[in-house]
A and B are shown apart, each in its own frame.
Chain A
């Protein structure tokens, strides 16, 4: 049993730490503080009860209840950590492959070797690469590494990032499912528009949420569930728009069963209703549109902003003195949004001279023309998308669309303000959220744009109650959203697009997924490789298109906490490609479908056996909005059970063996392991010796001191032992920094909406560049670059895909979808029987969810073994009959179809990843796909085990 804990204030009243509790009744029982960051919704802080050297129980770290946005609770997944540690199926020592042939049906013939042998073997390969040169004859890095897990492996990698930083050219662009498994379009467009790598409602204030497929109650972690439950108790109403009745749908006030991949039509219908069926000028936040968006920007006849000749700045029309002037003119009073409203016979007279700057050298000069505003073009663009039209597309009654739009407006509180920490801000408690498959793949741009527009129209973007971003991954500085609000072009926030100009374009891909070459919007941060078209390396390794540097496997591929042979779209095909890799180094927890192809298995010390200090608080993914920030530790709570090694030690050993030790230490000193050891202003210096291989605890001791020193300005400097005992250290983080609005207002910046001039220009230029080198296979993707997104019948892309295989689309009558399993997702939990037991309490975890009536029509009854086939693959599972799913849709929760992972391979659970296809046709302009497929269903001849 856990014992009461106490919170102690350490030096500096604002700094909070906590005491590790020790049971009084069981003298040998201790409670060790650690964190769980198995999914992007982390971290959660917990304590592990250790009795006589055995980790026995997990409990939330209630010491942080008052500061943690999830009440200090820990998620269900964390309770699997002990079983994860004691799992008898773990890899117990380093292993070397003895069978040179690789294939799913080849036994790798792994034999145990010592750590020295294993590290020497890898070190030799790495030295070989450095001797040959870091890139191959096609310009691709010879060393590649995949980490998967939405970036969460970094929270377990110790100092390995310093090894990567010291290495040099490294291909991190091999996807493990990203593109279909992440919020891809939201990451990219969200970060461009409002520093929203992930979007969240301002849950503590929001009162109305339209949720298109966002399954926050399964994917939002503890903070998400806690905050959303509070919102419901407070009176927040949520509408869940989704083809199946998900966990989130279940606890929403209303479920709207929409046809898959038609969310853009639904959202367009909402916008149409606001702009054309309601008196927009009365229901929208006109000052916000006027001052915080590009709505008043004048657009020339060629579709580019009309710019002032002298300054090149976009022009607006000032109603006050009836003349055009730059958007930031000092004398600008009241820029016009529309020159003529519907029903008005006479438009405002205007004659404007200026020029349009198109793609490359394209320039159009104009004299005395009558330009339109961006907002007018928006209204015109949305005119055809009536609720009645949308109803046809998305199978949601027009009356429901109109009612939801009206409810949204009724809750928007346009004109109201709220005080946050002494600042008066707009109060707009409405938000629109998107889920996976809605916000990626074809139509993802449209949904992201429409969602952000709905916020913009009522001024609910980045203000209390509204739609917020959580964290930044593409822009800098990475640790501060508000700090990233820096002036850029045309009155918008700065954003570093990948170059598309003739001079700057990266003609030859520098890594295999070619993100710099193909996706201007993905920018070029350390996260960009993982956010590029990360499936292209697998696809192009099979067959590289003409006019493209041949994609060759890397000399050495390192995989850490990822299993692309299961988690990727078309996972079976990825497994085939892996078999072609010449040398794979797999950090291995148990056998799995990816390390089956490995040459060396390196068993890491797992979550409760290894050490790391991470940054917590401020605003992070999903709903991790804190009023504090600081640091938390993960520490070995027991001695390693097997001959495993902490990643930090592995990194140090490999750095030495690869001959990059100095660079590695320098990278640690610069902050590659999470915290710079030397203060830029010279206030502290805990740097490691530049040439001596550091011991793990010495590294983390220095990082603990630097982190606490930085956090408290030297007031409360703590070493590793202190953190191991207390678990975390915090200081207040201002809530005002949850919102960009104050920074935008202070800097006079505008959100780059509704009109996408800059993006369109990049698209045109990219089209020019690709045409210049004869590439045509990206043409369809280039069509996505539009200033205002045009609806396409997106479902038809998947329906018609059957024709590429020479099949009749009518054969595949069902949509197959997937949904997040909170219990399983990430963290290698599929091999844990405890997690399986817990997950099985939730319907759908045992097989394929199918509508009861549709099943009856097919003669399918509960528990029948089903064969699910797409044009490119098949999977099997038991029928789970439910009412909460559209009759044209089936659902497979999580990712399974394991054939190697112990325990999981006996579960016989289906997986959408065996049905989706790696395909350019299914890849959108940002390089993402959507996690759905057309399938046919039949009763399986093969009995499920």
Chain B
């Protein structure tokens, strides 16, 4: 039994769902919709219809999905406002009034549990019925929503001395309403609870255990006439995993679209520029006096990215709330980097004193580096998108940001006649730097793509990554080098266009891959059935049984 320091007992609410009892009737879905007043196409609780195998060896089953109220919920630490939290009893909560609708939680959930509806509409169109008006929740517009395990029912029930999981009024509507008694709700901290007993007695699994989320829904998959079996390789082959009609396959996320991607594009390039410019100034390529202006340009680029992402969030007027969770959220931290960066840039630009301006630029560069790091971590912490949550993404974002920044810097230098006139080889050093970054980025990219499948990226996303290969493969880098080659050989003034083109290519490649990875390869984590009932046709059928089981009492 778990106890608080003050001695109070703390339950751990969870569910045990029996795959052999569930018939996919969607009564739980309907009951949830009624109990929680969810609008059209929003299903906090739903049951997917799964088919495994190939005729004549086929199995079909129904799987209840929704928020798993993970013990280690990936959605909670990422939230920049604290709108999503976890209670002591394990319930992962939503405060609609705090949420800004950034959707970070949605892309961080490996269970496709979260939704954002930007419009209030009814089942029959824009004119809502009396019932829909009476049960409307304007507070949910533009913010994240998900299953709460009917927290209101549980709390109200407890307050009245009822037992959640036993008394329907104190249980989640889906569990109370389930007409197959397939969904059981209860306290996993109580060894005598229904869910503890069920999971102790029967074989069960937690979905995506390997992600370390420790979900609080356990699936039971055996019955006396139906033993369990492991998933077969054929159930998870590329053809099945590429079929979007297969409900186990995660769909392409729509939470973060091109506007969000632009934050990584412009933000990466801008912050990279700030860092590279500071570096260039430090090693003497860029006159320090010009650094503030370049920093201002970096700030402009980053501002474009931030403005794009501002356009995407569901509740724009609440955007400031994103500063509230620096403890855990890389999105908040990104905002803090911004809050340091811009004053520093302003200071550098506005300050006539070169020393102070230099310090301000250094601070700005440091903040930009932090910003770039935050961007990398934001994507990496989005645990719901397999193509993003790979460690190499962190390095890739960082390197690419620096390469893009170096590209922009080279472009600036190549377009500056004063600078070009200063020395015949003035572009060589930045060009070397850029090419090193490009090559490193290409190497990391290749590593990322090569290992993507083993890191859990599905074939659909992998296909996108492979398609991107032409952009990132060594061959493409050779083209870059070829374009860059004249810049190495010719005097700066003549080489400038080639250097500029090289810088632009570096920038474009960075924009290209980020857009593709975020918008096109952002397939959500699918559902998984590591174990399932041994039932169905042909080889999947339950074994023969030539004696009657024990008699019913």
Residue of A nearest to B552 (CB): A205
| Contact, CB under 8 Å: A76 / B26 | yes
* A792 close to chain B: CB less than 8 A: no
Residue of A nearest to B167 (CB): A4
Q: Which residues of B contact A217 (CB under 8 A)?
A: 23, 25
Q: Which residues of A contact B179 (CB under 8 A)?
A: 70-71, 73-76, 222, 225-226
CA A832 – CA B124 in complex, angstroms?
Answer: 9
| Contact, CB under 8 Å: A62 / B537 | no
Provided the pairs A4-B160, A251-B23 are in contact, do residues A60 and B548 lie with their beta carbons within 8 angstroms? Answer: no
A residues at B contact (CB < 8 Å): 1-5, 25, 51-52, 54-60, 62, 65, 70-71, 73-76, 79-80, 82-83, 85-89, 204-205, 207-208, 217-218, 222, 225-226, 229-230, 232-238, 245, 247-257, 403, 406-407, 410-411, 413, 418, 427, 429, 641, 822-823, 832-834, 837-839, 841-843, 851-853, 862-863, 880-887, 903
* B395 close to chain A: CB less than 8 A: no
Residue of A nearest to B135 (CB): A56
| Contact, CB under 8 Å: A253 / B226 | yes
CA A839 – CA B26 in complex, angstroms?
Answer: 8
Q: Which residues of B contact A839 (CB under 8 A)?
A: 26
Residue of A nearest to B134 (CB): A54
| One of B57-65, B266-274, B337-345, B382-390 at the interface | B57-65
Q: List 23 A-B contacts (CB under 8 A).
A: A71-B181, A79-B33, A88-B127, A205-B552, A207-B548, A226-B181, A232-B226, A234-B224, A234-B549, A245-B536, A247-B23, A253-B225, A427-B551, A429-B552, A833-B124, A834-B30, A837-B41, A838-B30, A841-B48, A842-B24, A853-B54, A883-B51, A884-B537
Q: Which residues of A contact B544 (CB under 8 A)?
A: 403, 407
* B173 close to chain A: CB less than 8 A: yes
* B469 close to chain A: CB less than 8 A: no
B33, B40, B134: residue with the most chain A Cβ atoms closer than 10 Å: B134
Q: Which residues of B contact A225 (CB under 8 A)?
A: 23, 25, 179-180
Q: Which residues of A contact B24 (CB under 8 A)?
A: 247, 250, 841-842
User: Among the listed B60, B130, B135, B178, which residue makes an inter-chain contact with A245, where contact means beta carbons less than 8 Å apart?
Assistant: B60
| Contact, CB under 8 Å: B135 / A57 | yes
| Contact, CB under 8 Å: A250 / B61 | yes
Q: Which residues of A contact B542 (CB under 8 A)?
A: 237, 253-254
* B492 close to chain A: CB less than 8 A: no
Question: What 7 A-B pairs come out closest when comparing CB atoms?
Answer: A235-B549, A235-B224, A79-B30, A253-B542, A250-B60, A237-B225, A86-B129
| Contact, CB under 8 Å: A841 / B131 | no
CA A903 – CA B245 in complex, angstroms?
Answer: 24
- B220-238 residues with Cβ-Cβ distance < 8 A to A are 223-226
Residue of A nearest to B125 (CB): A88
Q: Which residues of A contact B46 (CB under 8 A)?
A: 841
Q: Which residues of A contact B225 (CB under 8 A)?
A: 232, 235-238, 253
CB distance from B380 to the nearest CB of A (A): 33
CA A804 – CA B419 in complex, angstroms?
Answer: 92
Provided the pairs A1-B152, A73-B27, A843-B49 are in contact, do residues A237 and B180 lie with their beta carbons within 8 angstroms? Answer: no
CB distance from A309 to the nearest CB of B (A): 47
List 8 extra interface pairs beyond A229-B181, A410-B545, A884-B537, CB under 8 A.
Answer: A59-B173, A75-B27, A208-B548, A217-B25, A249-B60, A251-B22, A257-B56, A834-B123
CA A82 – CA B131 in complex, angstroms?
Answer: 8
| Contact, CB under 8 Å: A407 / B181 | no
Provided the pairs A232-B20, A232-B21, A237-B542 are in contact, do residues A83 and B123 lie with their beta carbons within 8 angstroms? Answer: yes
Provided the pairs A841-B49, A842-B26 are in contact, do residues A233 and B21 lie with their beta carbons within 8 angstroms? Answer: yes
CA A57 – CA B58 in complex, angstroms?
Answer: 39
| Contact, CB under 8 Å: B25 / A73 | no
* B83 close to chain A: CB less than 8 A: no
Q: Which residues of A contact B43 (CB under 8 A)?
A: 837, 841
B40, B47, B55, B546: residue with the most chain A Cβ atoms closer than 10 Å: B55
Provided the pairs A79-B34, A843-B49 are in contact, do residues A73 and B226 lie with their beta carbons within 8 angstroms? Answer: no
| Contact, CB under 8 Å: A59 / B134 | no
Q: Which residues of B contact A882 (CB under 8 A)?
A: 51
Residue of B nearest to A255 (CB): B537
Provided the pairs A4-B169, A822-B25, A841-B46 are in contact, do residues A887 and B55 lie with their beta carbons within 8 angstroms? Answer: yes
Q: Which residues of B contact A204 (CB under 8 A)?
A: 552
| Contact, CB under 8 Å: A229 / B29 | no
CB distance from B382 to the nearest CB of A (A): 26
- B124-155 residues with Cβ-Cβ distance < 8 A to A are 124, 127, 129-132, 134-135, 152-153
| Contact, CB under 8 Å: A418 / B58 | no
B residues at A contact (CB < 8 Å): 18, 20-27, 29-31, 33-35, 37, 40-41, 43, 46-49, 51, 53-56, 58-62, 123-124, 127, 129-132, 134-135, 152-153, 156-157, 160, 162, 167-170, 173, 176-182, 223-226, 243, 245, 535-537, 541-542, 544-552
| Contact, CB under 8 Å: A79 / B61 | no
| Contact, CB under 8 Å: B55 / A886 | yes
Q: Which residues of B contact A853 (CB under 8 A)?
A: 54-55
Q: Which residues of B contact A82 (CB under 8 A)?
A: 34, 131
CB distance from A738 to the nearest CB of B (A): 14
B55, B58, B179, B537: residue with the most chain A Cβ atoms closer than 10 Å: B179
| Contact, CB under 8 Å: A55 / B131 | yes
User: Among the listed B59, B168, B545, which residue makes an inter-chain contact with A62, where contact means beta carbons less than 8 Å apart?
Assistant: B168
CA A236 – CA B535 in complex, angstroms?
Answer: 13
CB distance from A704 to the nearest CB of B (A): 27
CA A198 – CA B230 in complex, angstroms?
Answer: 39
Q: Which residues of B contact A58 (CB under 8 A)?
A: 34
CA A137 – CA B132 in complex, angstroms?
Answer: 54
| Contact, CB under 8 Å: A62 / B130 | no
CB distance from B239 to the nearest CB of A (A): 10
Q: Which residues of A contact B47 (CB under 8 A)?
A: 841
| Contact, CB under 8 Å: A60 / B58 | no
User: Among the listed B56, B162, B177, B537, which residue makes an inter-chain contact with A4, where contact means beta carbons less than 8 Å apart?
Assistant: B162
User: Among the listed A222, A255, A837, A885, which residue makes an inter-chain contact with B541, where contact means beta carbons less than 8 Å apart?
Assistant: A255
CA A2 – CA B35 in complex, angstroms?
Answer: 8
| Contact, CB under 8 Å: A833 / B123 | yes
Provided the pairs A225-B23, A235-B224 are in contact, do residues A429 and B548 lie with their beta carbons within 8 angstroms? Answer: yes
Q: Which residues of A contact B168 (CB under 8 A)?
A: 60, 62, 65
| Contact, CB under 8 Å: B27 / A4 | no
| Contact, CB under 8 Å: B27 / A76 | yes
Q: Which residues of A contact B173 (CB under 8 A)?
A: 59
Q: Which residues of B contact A89 (CB under 8 A)?
A: 124
CB distance from A219 to the nearest CB of B (A): 11
Q: Which residues of B contact A87 (CB under 8 A)?
A: 124, 129
Q: Which residues of A contact B135 (CB under 8 A)?
A: 56-57
Q: Which residues of B contact A842 (CB under 8 A)?
A: 24, 26, 49
CB distance from A877 to the nearest CB of B (A): 15
| Contact, CB under 8 Å: A413 / B548 | yes
Provided the pairs A4-B170, A207-B549, A862-B245 are in contact, do residues A226 and B180 lie with their beta carbons within 8 angstroms? Answer: yes
CB distance from B119 to the nearest CB of A (A): 16
Q: Which residues of B contact A427 (CB under 8 A)?
A: 551
Residue of B nearest to A846 (CB): B245
CA A403 – CA B167 in complex, angstroms?
Answer: 44
CA A887 – CA B54 in complex, angstroms?
Answer: 11
CA A120 – CA B131 in complex, angstroms?
Answer: 35
CB distance from A254 to the nearest CB of B (A): 4
Residue of B nearest to A881 (CB): B245
Q: Which residues of B contact A834 (CB under 8 A)?
A: 30, 33, 40, 123
CA A375 – CA B357 in complex, angstroms?
Answer: 109
CA A87 – CA B226 in complex, angstroms?
Answer: 44
User: Among the listed B30, B124, B132, B134, which residue makes an inter-chain contact with A52, where contact means beta carbons less than 8 Å apart?
Assistant: B134
Residue of A nearest to B132 (CB): A86
Residue of B nearest to A833 (CB): B123
CB distance from B157 to the nearest CB of A (A): 7
CA A56 – CA B132 in complex, angstroms?
Answer: 8
Residue of A nearest to B544 (CB): A403
CB distance from B360 to the nearest CB of A (A): 56
CA A886 – CA B58 in complex, angstroms?
Answer: 11
B20, B34, B162: residue with the most chain A Cβ atoms closer than 10 Å: B34
